[in-house]
Amino acid sequence: MTGFYGYYRLYNARLPSDITIIVDGVKFHLHKFPLMSKCGKIACMLEEIQSIHDRTFTTKLEEFPGGSDTFLFAAKFCYGIQVEFTARNIITVYCAADYLEMTDEYGEDNLLLKAESFFHKNVLHNWKDCVLALQSCESCMPRAEKLHILQKCLNAVSTMVCTDPSLFGWPMMMYGSLQSPGGSILWNGINTGAKIRSAESDWWFEDISYFSVGVFERLIKTMKARGIRSEYLAGVVMYYARKYLPGLGRWQSRPSSKARTVASFSSTPAAVDQRDLLENIEKLLPEKKGKSFCRFLLGLLRVASILGVNQTCLDSLERRIGMQLELASLDGLLIPSFSNSDTLYDTDCVERIIHHFMSSESGLTLFSPPSLDLLSSPSFEPLRKVARLIDNYLAEVASDVNLKPGKIRSLAEVLPDSSRTLHDGLYRALDIYFKAHPWLSDREKEVLCNIIDYGKLSIDACAHASQNKRLPLRVVLQVLFFEQLHLRTALAGCLNVLEAESAPTGQGIAPTEIAGNVTATGETGQRIVRRDGWVTIVRENQVLKVDMERMRSRVGELEDEVSKIKREMKKVKKSRSSLSSPCIVAGKFGCKPLSKSSDSQTDVVGSTGPTPRPSFEHPRSSHHSRHRKSLPLFRDLTHGS
């Protein structure tokens, strides 16, 4: 290619070109004098070849900053043609002027001085110009670092991210041009007095996401050195990664739909290598904890497995996740297996993450068996959360037919026994595994069931397991034993509490004695209290107490009804006995009653006194004697008739 013939006509149309300069394959046919008067590098080159009598001199400028376009800019300046400095070309022009040695020694007010003045006065004090300058410096990065102009831009950007964007020399997009210099909203040019809301903390994320990986990495390191908060650093790194790693879209919340506070002046996104980007992103991430950050790390680990990054990056991501595993979610841990393994999920990766968690929580594993105070302490809560998470993970992956029994056992045994107050989750996972693997022998099932502590199964789990046909017979027998033991100890504890609560107020039992009575029923009772919780036991006791009170009232009502029925029956008996007595019968027939004999008097006194109940033969003899005494009366009545 050839170029730059037409610009010489402004200088001298009669003289032909006597120097050819090649930059990035583009030939520039120029003249020696304008270049020598401004460029020290070209002047030195021409002085060295004065002995050569060639009419035309050809040279090639290797690694010219900014390429052929930037050299064209410098050539125009040498020929006295007006040029325009912009934020997009200032860094490349600055580097090109330094490369060509266009200093004041080779001309007053030379290109290097003009570029330096524009850079310091216009670029470093304006956010937009700083961002545009950094976006266009990729082609001259080494020389820009040598001249310290790249670091100056990075320092300026790092300072402005902590400042109100309305101070950077342009109006906010939220209100466009309807903003007064004082920050108030204008309506038809009239100051309304209403203040604009403060900008969001992530207003700058979108602009710097257009930087190349190298510039972005240098910017984050500069921000760290200047003490920018780790929340902002993590946020911008996550934003940048989500933009260039599409696989992270599922594991990140969608970007805000609000208009940002920066004008849309950015160019097209930079072309990046996703594998190199991910490895650099991992190095830039701060040591931070949080649910959203942990979810991002899990998504990053998933994408890293797909891209096949180096092992150092994978190990670092697994370590970061393990340090905050209690904040992870189940769907985040379900990482598909992209290796040669037959399993659906990468269980080896999850096992390594658990090991990292245990190494960070090693202080809690020293207490075995755990005390009641330790179980209720806040420091023990992460271990409980991870145990529940892993139990749910085991239940989710247990349906994989290619999952080996040894892997289930190793995943369950990574955590200590003290991490699980209940083993219902392990039982559920094994039940799903046995259902998905019906070909397992009873011996293999018994080996797997050894990870379950039957004393830590709830009553509901014991009831389900006792009727589970997928469990071996030995396991069912053990479950039945512990189920009966749980019921017995739970009932004993409830009765102790009820007796303590039903005691008189003056002779009440202190709460400590109540707790002592409950826990005194044995070690199994203590496990129940720890497992189900004191609150649950008390609530069950209250329900039982209410039911017993209702039963007592009902029994009292039934006793009253029974007593009434007895009184009515006595009245009926008395009326019947009075109707069948001899006196009433004799009165009906006009006869006088007989005088009471000594036997009858004895009977009456004996019936009213507190003498013992008569024997069975005594009433029978009195009954016959009464009939014998009344027999003459009926004879007289018959004769009289």
Q: Residues 463-491: pLDDT tens digits?
A: 888 888 998 888 888 888 887 887 777 77
Which long-range CB contacts under 8 A does 560-568 form with residues at least 24 apart?
none
Helix axes 274-284, 230-244, angle to 10 degrees: 170
Helix axes 617-640, 598-608, angle to 10 degrees: 140
The residue type of 349 is C
Q: Is the pLDDT of residue 502 over 70?
A: no
Residue holding tokens 């060509």?
100
Residue holding tokens 């992870």?
328
Mean pLDDT of 331-343: 86
Q: Is the pLDDT of residue 440 over 50?
A: yes
Q: Is the pLDDT of residue 514 over 50?
A: no
Q: Please answer whether residues 435 and 417 qualify as being in contact, where contact means their C-beta atoms are separated by less than 8 angstroms.
A: no
Q: Please answer whether residues 193 and 184 qualify as being in contact, where contact means their C-beta atoms are separated by less than 8 angstroms.
A: yes
Confidence of residue 220 (pLDDT cuts 50, 70, 90): very high
Q: Is the pLDDT of residue 172 over 50?
A: no
Q: Is the pLDDT of residue 571 over 80?
A: yes
Task: Round to whole Å and give the CA distance between 211 and 206.
Answer: 10
Task: Round to whole Å and give the CA distance between 394 and 517.
Answer: 38
Region of poorest pLDDT, from 209-223, 305-319, 401-415, 553-567 = 553-567
Confidence of residue 55 (pLDDT cuts 50, 70, 90): low
Separation in Å, CA 363 to CA 357, 368, 374, 626, 627: 11, 11, 12, 97, 99
Residue-level pLDDT at 611: 41
Task: Round to whole Å and give the CA distance between 88 and 113.
Answer: 18
What kind and span of H or E run contains 30? strand 26-30
Q: Is the pLDDT of residue 623 over 80?
A: no
Say if strands 190-195 and 184-187 run parallel, antiparallel, or are unpaired: antiparallel
Task: Round to whole Å and give the CA distance between 41 and 593.
Answer: 163
How are strands ordered across the β-sheet holding 26-30?
2-3, 26-30, 19-23, 57-60
Range of 30-34, 432-436, 631-635 with top mean pLDDT: 432-436
Range of 366-380, 535-549, 627-641 with top mean pLDDT: 535-549
Q: Is the pLDDT of residue 601 over 80?
A: no
pLDDT in tens, 79-103: 989 999 999 999 999 999 999 999 9
- Average model confidence (pLDDT) across the chain: 75
Q: Is the pLDDT of residue 363 over 70?
A: no
Residue-level pLDDT at 521: 45
Q: Is the pLDDT of residue 640 over 50?
A: no
DSSP 378: G
Confidence of residue 361 (pLDDT cuts 50, 70, 90): confident
Mean pLDDT of 243-267: 57
343 compared with 181, residue with greater pLDDT: 343
Separation in Å, CA 353 to CA 25, 331, 350, 500: 53, 15, 5, 49
Q: Residue 516: CB partners within 8 Å, gap ≥ 6?
A: none
Q: Please answer whether residues 402 and 342 qualify as being in contact, where contact means their C-beta atoms are separated by less than 8 angstroms.
A: yes
Q: Above pLDDT 70, what percent of the chain? A: 67
Mean pLDDT of 302-323: 92
Region of poorest pLDDT, from 105-109, 367-371, 462-466, 505-509 = 367-371
Mean pLDDT of 537-545: 61
Confidence of residue 631 (pLDDT cuts 50, 70, 90): very low
Domain 2-123: CATH class, spelled out:
alpha beta
Mean pLDDT of 41-70: 81
Task: Round to whole Å and give the CA distance between 5 and 530.
Answer: 92
Residue-level pLDDT at 14: 61
Range of 60-64, 161-165, 556-560 with top mean pLDDT: 60-64
Confidence of residue 548 (pLDDT cuts 50, 70, 90): confident
Task: Round to whole Å and give the CA distance between 356 and 351.
Answer: 9
Mean pLDDT of 315-331: 93
- The tokens describing 359, both together, are 């190494």
Confidence of residue 183 (pLDDT cuts 50, 70, 90): very low
Q: Three-state SS for 23? A: strand
Q: Residue 30: CB partners within 8 Å, gap ≥ 6?
A: 4, 8, 17, 19, 20, 21, 75
User: Which residues are 195's β-sheet partners?
Assistant: 184
Region of poorest pLDDT, from 30-39, 553-562, 585-594 = 585-594
Residue-level pLDDT at 362: 59
Q: Please answer whether residues 102 and 111 qualify as being in contact, where contact means their C-beta atoms are separated by less than 8 angstroms.
A: yes
302 compared with 523, residue with greater pLDDT: 302
Task: Round to whole Å and give the CA distance between 452 and 423.
Answer: 6
Q: Which of 133, 280, 258 is nearest to 201 (CA)?
A: 258
Residue-level pLDDT at 411: 93
| Count of C-beta atoms within a 10 Å radius of residue 400 | 19
Residue-level pLDDT at 386: 94
Residue-level pLDDT at 200: 59
Mean pLDDT of 110-128: 93
> Would you list the DSSP string of 461-513?
HHHHHHT-TTS-HHHHHHHHHHHHHHHHHHHHHHHHHHHHHTS-STTPPPHHH
Confidence of residue 429 (pLDDT cuts 50, 70, 90): very high
DSSP 416: -
Range of 129-143, 351-365, 590-604 with top mean pLDDT: 129-143
Q: Is the pLDDT of residue 617 over 80?
A: no
Q: Please answer whether residues 350 and 407 qualify as being in contact, where contact means their C-beta atoms are separated by less than 8 angstroms.
A: no
Q: On the CB side of 239, how many CA atoms lie within 13 Å of its CA?
A: 21
Q: Three-state SS for 567? A: helix
Task: Round to whole Å and give the CA distance between 336 and 541.
Answer: 48
Q: Above pLDDT 90, what percent of the chain? A: 35
Q: Residue 302: CB partners within 8 Å, gap ≥ 6?
A: 247, 251, 335, 336
Task: Round to whole Å and give the CA distance between 419 and 357.
Answer: 13
Task: Round to whole Å and give the CA distance between 470 and 459.
Answer: 19
DSSP 337: P
Measure the CA angle with vertex 407, ends 405 and 413; round to 5°: 105
Region of poorest pLDDT, from 177-181, 232-236, 440-444, 485-489 = 177-181
535 compared with 248, residue with greater pLDDT: 248
Residue-level pLDDT at 250: 59
Residue-level pLDDT at 308: 87
493 compared with 562, residue with greater pLDDT: 562
Mean pLDDT of 282-310: 91
Residue-level pLDDT at 130: 93
28 compared with 369, residue with greater pLDDT: 28
Region of poorest pLDDT, from 1-10, 101-110, 297-306, 395-404 = 1-10
Residue-level pLDDT at 17: 81
DSSP 345: B
Cα dihedral: 467, 469, 472, 476 (round 10): 0
Residue-level pLDDT at 139: 85
75 compared with 517, residue with greater pLDDT: 75
Residue-level pLDDT at 410: 93
- The tokens describing 589, both together, are 């027939």
Model confidence pTM above 0.85: no
Q: Which of 447, 433, 351, 439 is nearest to 400 (CA)?
A: 433
Q: Is the pLDDT of residue 261 over 80?
A: no
Q: Which of 174, 224, 175, 220 is nearest to 200 (CA)?
A: 174
Alpha helical stretches, state H, 186-229: 205-208, 213-225
Mean pLDDT of 152-169: 77
